[in-house]
Amino acid sequence: MIDTLPPQTPEEVAAERRRHDEAVAGRWPIVVGLVGTVVFHLLAYVAVDQHLFGWGGPVAEVPSDVATMREKYDQQELTFLLADDTEPRTPLRFTETNPDAPENDPGKTNYYGSRNQQAAQLEPGNDQSERPRTSGEAKDSTAIVTGMRQQPDEPLVVPGANGQNGAGMTAVVIGAPAIPKSAEPLPGFEKITGDNPDGIGTNIGKTPRGKPEDEKLQEGKAEGTTTGPQQLLAVSGGGVPGIPGRPAPRPRPKLQNVRSAVLANQPLSASNKGMTAVNSRLSAAGVWWDEFIDTVDGQFQKLAEEMTTRPPSRSTVVIHFTVNARGEIRILDIEGEDTAGRVATYTCLDAIRARAPYRPWTQEMINMFGEEEEVTFSFLFW
């Protein structure tokens, strides 16, 4: 049995053809994408194969014997670099020391200064810090103590027994006992009484206290000495020379001979008990920086006393500058002129530049810093 389809009209044929074309057009992008993917992978494979294995390029020449191969590899230079496991070196830092603290070897430390010193404080802690605990308003400071440069006037003290100033003294006679020499009153001081036919006599009155010293007749031998009383010398017990029994005043305590500085807020404590000190290794660079700071500070104190106008209280001037190996100064930047004023700012600048050039660097300092070092100074007006 043959089954036949009913005849189609032209409209149905056209509609069927449109559906077919739309189906073909919808599948075409998929076919193009599939073909493009295959072609891309083939090209990538060919490129990698040629790069790694030399496919399609010149054929590598294979040596025919072992000697030729050994000669080829002997001409090659291989360089092996070992990994550097050492820790980076901590940079050295300058610190000011306490001149009243005893010198002591600090051991291993990255701090250097004008003398050997070991970190300590009056009440030690357990932080093992290389700097003592300080309380201040500065973020960072090289100073660990503060004081005054001026020294009080001290009386002359004669040491007594065991180097102490006692409550009294012992006096001994130096030389033989002195015998006073008889002498008449000085001319013009004689008292003339009675009648004198050749002169004029007067007697105004008697002195109620007796004769003055110049009118007294000094008794003694004609061959006596003309020296004064016997000389006294303090040999023990302290006191003032020549005044037995009068003790000399004890010396007033000395002010700490360090500059007036604002300390940093350092909460960590040193573990050693003693006078306030910092870990510091003696260095020529430390001596140079200590002298430099003292010179600038002394000049600043002198100029500040001569200022006719005072800047606002608690104002600060910060100056960034460089010092080179010849001791020359180069100003980089200035902060704080808007608050401290121009007079205070120029006072700080003059304190740094007035004594320049400073002492040239030593070779040790040149090895440490090169030809130039950047420095920051902060000047505070209270």
**pLDDT tens string for the chain (382 positions)?**
444 445 556 666 677 777 777 776 667 677 777 777 877 777 777 676 665 555 555 555 555 566 677 777 666 666 766 666 666 677 889 999 998 899 999 999 999 999 999 999 999 998 889 999 998 888 888 999 988 765 444 444 444 444 444 333 334 444 445 555 555 555 555 556 666 666 555 555 555 555 555 455 555 555 555 444 444 333 333 334 444 444 444 444 444 567 888 888 889 999 999 999 999 999 999 999 999 999 999 999 999 999 988 899 889 999 999 999 999 999 999 999 999 999 999 999 999 999 999 999 999 999 999 999 999 999 999 8
The pairs formed by 304-312 with CB atoms below 8 angstroms and a separation of 24 or more are 304/347, 304/381, 307/343, 307/344, 307/347, 308/343, 309/341, 309/343, 310/381, 311/340, 311/341, 311/343, 311/344, 311/381, 312/339, 312/340, 312/341, 312/381
Residue 289: predicted pLDDT: 95
Residue 232: predicted pLDDT: 36
Residue 33: predicted pLDDT: 76
Distance CA 49, CA 135 (A): 72
Cβ(366)–Cβ(325) below 8 Å: yes
Q: Residue 373: CA atoms inside 13 Å, Cβ hemisphere, count? A: 19
Residue 3: predicted pLDDT: 45
CB atoms within 10 A of CB 57: 9
Cβ neighbours of residue 191 closer than 8 Å, sequence gap 6 or more: 203, 215
CB atoms within 10 A of CB 258: 20
Q: Which two tokens stand for residue 78?
A: 């291989």
Residue 167: predicted pLDDT: 38
Residue 115: predicted pLDDT: 93
Residue 199: predicted pLDDT: 57
Beta bridge partners of residue 181, listed in sequence order: 221
Cβ(280)–Cβ(358) below 8 Å: no
Per domain, the residue ranges of the chain are 7-41, 90-148+268-282, 283-382
DSSP 217-229: PBPSBTT-B---S
Distance CA 27, CA 29 (A): 6
Burial class (CB in 10 A: 0-12, 13-18, 19+), 229: exposed
Cβ(322)–Cβ(345) below 8 Å: no
Provide the 3-class DSSP secondary structure of residue 207.
coil
Per CATH, the number for 283-382 is: 3.30.1150
CB atoms within 10 A of CB 252: 10
Residue 32: predicted pLDDT: 73
Distance CA 166, CA 176 (A): 28
Distance CA 377, CA 251 (A): 36
Burial 307-328 (b: 16+ CB within 10 A, else e): eeeebeeebbbbbebebbbeee
Residue 375: predicted pLDDT: 95
Residue 334: predicted pLDDT: 96
DSSP-derived letter for residue 333 is E
